[in-house]
Structure 1
Amino acid sequence: MGHWFSQNIVEPGKLPLLLALASFVLTFLATRTVTRLIRAGKGPFRNVSSGGLHIHHVVPGVVLVVVGGFGAVAAGRQGGWAAGVFAVLFGAGAGLVLDEFALILHLDDVYWSEQGRKSVEVVVLTAALVTLTLGGFSPLGVNELTTEERQNRVSLVVSLALNFLFVLVALFKGKFRLAVIGTLLPFVAIVAALRLARPGSLWARRVYARRPKARARAGLRAYHHDRRWSRVARRFQDLIGGFQERVPGRGPDHR
């Protein structure tokens, strides 16, 4: 185990990334635990406020992201222990910020509402992408090129352009998650780009406008897909985010 860790994490310089990921996940889980206890009125935790202003934890999160990010840049590739410290700070800050991603997106306190599920989705997606990067994947499939292809700049540019095109098509078809994952796993973007668009997406509104059969097939496929996976996704979000927890006498946004 020690040899594997040294060969695959330490020697390639991935230790700061691993520390950032661990700090990110642990901070998010700790934050969700604390907010759930606050909502339930349990434990020694309480909301933090300055005067009449409620301070969301995205505020210290932004500070940690700034300190960790600029510190990592200043430390450079030869940062040593400092790179690890700044990686932990950055991961913790990112965990705090993305835990309230839905609040930033909607500019409203939707933490416990239906819109608040976006925060959990973004956190899980971020953790998955960083884990894939630790596992050896690189953005847009550059790692899949041979040594000769790496030396050939034309092949490299064409490969990147094609992958980027598939990612854009997937985005236009309303498949955000698959598009993001497709930046690391190109075949995912290809599959998403070739399949039917989501109803309501820009692609569906433009391309399917005069194709009623394609529009009907897309709607039917989306219905069956959502019916099959939405319940599973919601249960997973409820387990992590605690959205099903209800406190008597308190509104859905109380923390």
Structure 2
Amino acid sequence: MGHWLDRNIIEPGKLPLLLALAAFVLTFVITRVVTRLIRAGRGPFGNVTAGDVHIHHVVPGVILTVTGGFGTVAGGGRGPGAALGAVVFGIGAGLVLDEFALILHLDDVYWTEAGRKSVEMVVLTAALVGLLLAGFAPFGVNDLSEGELQNRAGAAANIAVNFLFSLIALSKGKTRIAAFGVIVPVVALIGALRLARPGSPWARRFYRRRPRARARAALRAHRHDRRWSGPRRAVQDWLGGKPDPPPPHP
């Protein structure tokens, strides 16, 4: 059955990636449901502790990610072993990235404003893997002609240019565009050509003596944030739960 799915529904060799993505998304959804029930004091669930230590689910997530990753590699990307390894890897990755903000801040910020980064990382990862399943390849390798594929110099130049566009977009403070640009080169090109966000490395380096560029960048960033911050926060609250209000200042 796995061979039939691999041959008729998705491209050959991508079944483990599909299984990993499905396990990743399902694990995130289940984890958020359970944590929200624990937060509300409902259901039979509770935090896992060892004495006074709260065992976060990132811990079993790391173990499952390592186990599943090595299992998939050992299976050569095909066969029941590789499929099982992909599922285990997806489950582990879902548990790890659900607490990405805790790793980033080295603090329990799960239900704080900073904890939104976990939801952003999960959505970004799922979207990028979905693009890979749809047939996109990093740095536009899938856009190369047969002649370019045979010409290693041309292929390397194409990858280098697309990578450069992604780096420029990243230096301009456009993290999401840079990430998607790795998979879809035209996205990186757009990010590389647009104005940098205020405070980004590019703005500090190249807008320092250009007050007009700084003003335009600040205005564009303000308009963008005012337009999209509300809907983005609403989606994050729906997916991951609304953060706790910040404690009042003494």
Q: TM-score range by the shorter chain?
A: over 0.9
TM-score, structure 1 length as denominator? 0.93
Unaligned runs of 5+ in 2: none
Q: Deviation at 1:150?
A: 0.5
Q: Deviation at 1:94?
A: 0.1
Match of 1:95 in 2: 94
User: What secondary structure does 2:177 align onto?
Assistant: helix
Say which structure, 1 or 2, has more relative contact order (CA 8 Å, 6+ apart). Answer: 1
* Cα distance in 2 for residues equivalent to 1:88 and 1:5: 15
The one-letter amino acid paired with 1:40 is A
* Cα distance in 1 for residues equivalent to 2:241 and 2:34: 11
Ranges of 4+ aligned residues in structure 1 off by more than 4 Å: none
* Cα distance in 2 for residues equivalent to 1:190 and 1:75: 37
* Cα distance in 2 for residues equivalent to 1:197 and 1:75: 44
User: What secondary structure does 1:166 align onto?
Assistant: helix
* Cα distance in 2 for residues equivalent to 1:121 and 1:224: 21
Q: Deviation at 1:5?
A: 6.6
Q: Deviation at 1:75?
A: 1.4
The one-letter amino acid paired with 1:42 is R
* Cα distance in 1 for residues equivalent to 2:6 and 2:154: 33
Match of 1:218 in 2: 217
User: What pairs up with 1:182-221 in 2 under 5 angstroms?
Assistant: 182-221=181-220
Match of 2:132 in 1: 133
User: What pairs up with 1:1-255 in 2 under 5 angstroms?
Assistant: 6-9=7-10, 12-77=12-77, 79-243=78-242
The one-letter amino acid paired with 1:27 is T
* Cα distance in 2 for residues equivalent to 1:57 and 1:157: 41
* Cα distance in 1 for residues equivalent to 2:101 and 2:42: 25
The one-letter amino acid paired with 2:215 is A
RMSD of equivalent CA atoms: 1.7
The one-letter amino acid paired with 1:17 is L
* Cα distance in 2 for residues equivalent to 1:116 and 1:245: 10
Unaligned runs of 5+ in 1: none
Cα 1:4–1:93 change in 2 (3 A) is closer
What's the % identity of the aligned pairs? Answer: 66
TM-score, structure 2 length as denominator? 0.94
* Cα distance in 1 for residues equivalent to 2:219 and 2:5: 47
